[in-house]
Amino acid sequence: MERIQLLTAIGQHVAWVEILQFPPGNEPKVVTWGARIFVRGADATYVEAFSVVSLTPSPGLPEAPLVDRVEPVPVDRTAVMTLHGTPVEEIREQHAAEPAGQHADYIVLNDEERSKGFVRPVRRSYRHVGIAGPKNQLRDLTDEEMARHSQFGYVKFEKYPDDDSSVTGRFWTQKQLDSVGKGCGTVTTMGQKLAETYARDPSFYGSTMCVGCDKHLPVGEAGEFVWDGTSERVGS
């Protein structure tokens, strides 16, 4: 038997457990413990897919000190391949020319790059929920702002909290405000290599496919999708 450590997403100890011993390189990527799911990280610990903090004491083997966490290896975004062997540059040209619908092939990080370790759980399904709304108070535009940005249709300004960033806020159009939380609600499921690319490099993609809308829409903090069963934005 092999002794492994289970951790929450922020590295909090959950339990030590024993599993069958596997040959090196063939260790399971996912371990279930009761109803809880843990994904193998680059440091050989298993990190819980959906929980950040363990709210209750967990049974298991006697607690031991946390394993030192290993910093993830930097991502090499030139280490790419396609799912079906189409030349990468050809796919990039096709994607730029295809306005809607699922593409015939997709670019992913290659097998070697994905094997270097994940910084997020490997998740395959996401829900179209629409864009997130403003997180801070909105104000009307000044006369000067209306004159300067009239061609963009902005109607409100969101001021960000004061910090060291040069970005002080963002403008919103009425169309954007009206579309907050107005996704179609469809759950889309992607292939394993696409999911592992997101787990290795969450911001690798700028958009993803919604099968309900039959088109690609933005991902990221300002994107339109969350991982199914969570409130975490795809691509963040």
pLDDT, tens digit, 9 for 90 and up, residues 161-194: 887 677 889 999 999 999 899 999 999 999 999 9
Ranges of H-type helices in the chain:
88-97, 111-114, 143-148, 174-178, 192-200
The 10s digit of each residue's pLDDT in 63-83 is 444 444 455 678 999 999 999
Q: Supply the pLDDT for residue 10.
A: 65
Q: One-letter amino acid identity for 63?
A: E
Residue that has been written with the tokens 């960033």 in this structure: 165
Residue 126, phi then psi, degrees to nearest 5: -140, 155
Contact present, 130 and 180 (Cβ < 8 Å):
yes
What average pLDDT does this structure show over 99-109? 86
Model confidence at 152: pLDDT above 60: yes
DSSP string of 92-119, one letter each residue: HHHHHH--SS--S--EEE-HHHHTT--S
Q: CB neighbours of 213 closer than 8 A, spacing ≥ 6? A: 128, 184, 186
Q: Which residues face 170 on adjacent strands?
A: 158
Asked whether the predicted pLDDT for residue 13 surpasses 80, the reply is no
Which are the contacts of 178, defined by CB distance < 8 A and separation ≥ 6?
Answer: none
For residue 216, the model assigns a pLDDT of 92
Q: Hey, is 225 helix, strand or coil?
A: strand
100 token code pair: 């809607």
Contact (CB, 8 A) for 192 and 124: yes
What tokens does 143 get? 């006369």
Q: CA 207 → CA 106, 120, 234, 235, distances in Å?
A: 12, 18, 9, 8
Q: Work out whether strand 46-48 and strand 2-7 pair parallel, antiparallel, or are unpaired.
A: parallel
Please tell me the distance from the alpha carbon of residue 109 to that of residue 171, in angstroms, as a whole number.
35
C-alpha 189/C-alpha 191 separation (Å) is 7
Pick the more confident residue, 87 or 98: 87
Distances (CA, A) of 158 to 1, 21, 75: 56, 54, 33
Q: Does 101 or 170 have the greater pLDDT score?
A: 170
The band of 58, judged by pLDDT with boundaries at 50, 70 and 90, is very low
Q: Tokens 């049974």 sit at which residue? A: 59
Q: Which of the given ranges, 15-29, 42-56, 180-194, has the highest pLDDT on average?
A: 180-194
Most confident listed range (46-55, 92-101, 216-225)? 216-225
Residue 156, pLDDT score: 94
pLDDT at 11 > cutoff 90: no
